Amino acid sequence: MIPKKLQDQLDARNAEITFRALDMPQLLVDFASNDYLGFSMSNEIFDRTHYYLENEFIFQNGSKGSWLLSGNHQLYAEVEELICETYHCNAALIFNSGYNANLGFFSCVPQHDDIIFYDELIHASIRDGIAMGEAKAFAFKHNDLEDLKRICQNEQPHFTENTEVYIATESVFSIDGDTPDLVAIADFCELNKFRLIVDEAHAIGVFGKEGEGLVRSLGIDKSVFARLISFGKALSSHGAAILGDQGLIDYLIQFSSPSSYTTAIAPHSLMTIKASYKELELTHAIKKLNQNIRFFKEKLKENQLEKYFTESNSAIQCCTISDSEKVKKIVRHLNEKGFDPEPIFSPTVPKGQERIRFCIHAYNSEDEISKVLSLLAPFFS
């Protein structure tokens, strides 16, 4: 048996009906997954990956070890070079996941005398990375530049000549799909010589003509110290990368434990990333996705639901309900009608801030979007 204090926590989850279960996927209309472009179902990506591996005589199931030892592979260099060309950065380092990348960066780059200011709704992986590191950290109000300025000013007397200040935010937040004023934040960081870190996990493949994300499409890439890009969202692959100057990448290779002490990504997964980038060049999925996002927002207005949703131009459209029982009732009804949005409860969000998240995809039809919102509307009439 597990210790009583652990069982008490499990019992509390059960009592609050927030116990998490690993359910099998349901055959419902997908408004829940991060597969924004439908690449997880792409025959072209599957065939291109298979053809390349056969053509290069790469018949290797696993990676044999960490990439510092026996797990490195020629495809690492090829994919990292492709990333640098795509995002116009000097260097890139692949990690096994977005979580792993944020953990690897924030646990080792900010030092003892440094300070991190981060958006209060930042990814859990960034919070966990900060907790592993030695720098002081302070949260600022969500997407509130004035609050960031206020907190920075309050802490400035504690800066030393060795203090580096890091500002961490996301270009698209995973819960509500909203976006900060990245240009204004970048200007603020430039003015004060602060180092800006932007997590672009939910922007890659969605924003920009070629899915390059918001940092590049807004033209602020030179003002950003480090970018995180994920292959596990719109690209439907596996892994992530940190983008920055060569010195930063060299430092991560030397001192980032989450990358050094884990088994490297297998060649098949690396080639899938490469094939997904090729598909971005060939497909019209980004255009179709953005058409569907605009259509969804139009239907929100028609159904008088707009005021219940967070303002977002991303693939994530979120309805805040602040009532866990109502969330469960609505999602159960939508599931019964064949639709699969994502309910979000505590501890993912604070109690009283429950919501339903609708992830829009290139493969959702206008009829599906219209129907799911017409089913939602009566709960707010």
Contacts for 258 with CB less than 8 Å, ≥ 6 apart: 95, 100, 101, 103, 104, 107
Using DSSP, state whether 372 is helix, strand or coil.
helix
Number of domains into which the chain is organized: 2
Q: Is the separation of the CB atoms in 183 and 218 below 8 Å?
A: yes
The answer to whether residue 32 is domain-embedded is: yes
Residue 66: which domain range?
60-281
Characterize 105-136 residue by residue with b for buried, 16 or more Cβ atoms within 10 angstroms of its Cβ, and e for exposed.
Answer: bbbbbbeeebbbbbbebbbebbbebbeebebb
Residues 307, 170 share a domain: no
CA dist 107 and 248 (Å) reads: 14
Using DSSP, state whether 256 is helix, strand or coil.
coil
Q: Tell me, what's the pLDDT at 17? A: 64
Residues 206, 97 share a domain: yes
Q: Tell me, what's the pLDDT at 22? A: 63
Residues 320, 193 share a domain: no
CA–chain centroid gap for 207, Å, is 13
Confidence class for position 69, pLDDT limits 50, 70, 90: confident
- On the question of pLDDT at 305 being above 80, the answer is yes
User: Rounded to two decimals, what is the model's pTM?
Assistant: 0.92
Q: Tell me, what's the pLDDT at 56? A: 84
Q: Tell me, what's the pLDDT at 59? A: 85
CA dist 209 and 206 (Å) reads: 9
**H or E segment to which residue 230 belongs:** strand 226-230
Residues 368, 254 share a domain: no
Residues 318, 271 share a domain: no
Confidence class for position 307, pLDDT limits 50, 70, 90: very high
Higher pLDDT, 338 or 353: 338
Q: Which of 281, 305, 333 is the last residue of a domain?
A: 281
Q: Tell me, what's the pLDDT at 333? A: 96
The structure tokens listed for 100 are 């792993």
The per-residue pLDDT for range 248-287, each reduced to its tens digit, is 999 999 999 988 888 889 999 999 999 999 999 888 999 9
63-67, 212-216, 245-249: least confidently modelled range: 63-67
Neighbouring C-alpha atoms within 13 Å toward the C-beta of 131 = 6
Confidence class for position 229, pLDDT limits 50, 70, 90: very high
Residues 123, 148 share a domain: yes
Residues 261, 242 share a domain: yes
Task: Supply φ then ψ for residue 3, to 5 degrees.
Answer: -55, 150
The per-residue pLDDT for range 10-59, each reduced to its tens digit, is 888 777 666 666 676 678 999 999 999 999 999 999 999 999 999 988 88
Residues 133, 164 share a domain: yes
Residues 364, 250 share a domain: no
Q: Is the separation of the CB atoms in 200 and 226 below 8 Å?
A: no
Q: Residue 297 belongs to a domain with what CATH number?
A: 3.90.1150.10
* Overall average pLDDT of the 225-244 stretch: 96
Q: Tell me, what's the pLDDT at 24? A: 66
Q: Which of 258, 281, 304 is the last residue of a domain?
A: 281
The per-residue pLDDT for range 125-159, each reduced to its tens digit, is 999 999 999 999 999 999 999 999 999 999 999 89
